[in-house]
């Protein structure tokens, strides 16, 4: 399987917030850096499916964000470092779906 992977290297150039506080009321600021990988998952048909896949993949150490879209079967994962495909496959299997092999 070949998943599309992109390393984010954006750097902050400024902020609307003062140097002594945050205008986000304690909300996390945008996280810079990381690895974005798009996987193809078969069998997802609804929001419940998206939630199941998102929940299982989110438990993999290093994962910071998961977005599953049933309509396309695409699951976008942001992680601190590249993920082991076996771990992703096992998480998707645990959710009841299948990680597809991409052409």
CATH of the domain at 95: 3.30.70.100
Query: Is 23 among the domain residues?
Result: no
Global pTM reads 0.69
Give the span between the Cα atoms of 53 and 69, in whole angstroms.
10
Q: Which domain holds residue 2?
A: 1-9+34-103
pLDDT, tens only, 28-86: 434 557 999 999 999 999 999 999 999 999 999 999 999 999 999 999 999 999 999 99
Phi, psi of 39 (to 5 degrees): -110, 155
Query: Is 19 among the domain residues?
Result: no
Q: What would the 3-class secondary structure string for 54-80 be? A: HHHHHCCCCEEEEEEECCCCEEEEEEC
Query: Is 16 among the domain residues?
Result: no
Query: Is 68 among the domain residues?
Result: yes
Give the span between the Cα atoms of 43 and 58, in whole angstroms.
19
pLDDT, tens only, 7-25: 544 434 343 444 444 444 4
What is the total count of domains within the chain? 1
Compute the CA torsion angle 15, 21, 25, 31 (nearest 10 deg). Answer: 50
């Amino acid at each position: 399987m070949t998943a599309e992977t992109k390393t984010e290297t954006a750097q902050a150039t400024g902020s609307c917030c003062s140097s002594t506080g945050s205008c986000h009321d304690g909300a996390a600021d945008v996280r810079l850096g990381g690895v974005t990988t798009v996987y193809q998952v078969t069998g997802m048909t609804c929001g419940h499916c998206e939630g199941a896949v998102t929940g299982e993949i989110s438990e993999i150490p290093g994962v910071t964000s998961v977005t599953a879209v049933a309509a396309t079967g695409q699951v976008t994962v942001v992680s601190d470092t590249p993920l082991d495909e076996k771990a992703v496959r096992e998480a998707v299997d645990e959710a009841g779906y299948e990680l597809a092999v991409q052409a």
